[in-house]
Amino acid sequence: QMLSVNNLSESNLKVLQSFSRINYVKITVLLFRYNVVDHVLLF
């Protein structure tokens, strides 16, 4: 039972890591877009 729980937590960690990576990419893309829009508006 301990082994199965460990495996579960490991897979959950991997899923969480992938989600956080995706969110990080989304946030950077959004920030980049807003920065571009700001620069375009400034010019």
Q: How confident is the model over 2-42, as pLDDT tens digits?
A: 667 667 788 888 988 888 898 889 989 988 888 877 777 66
Quick check: 1 pLDDT over 60? no
Three-class DSSP category at 1: coil
The residue type at 27: I
Residue (of 22, 28, 20, 23) closest to 36 by Cα position? 28
Residues 19, 25: Cα–Cα separation, whole Å: 10
Residue 29: closest CA among 37, 40, 18: 37
Q: For residue 16, what pLDDT is reported?
A: 86
Domain residue extents for the chain: 1-43
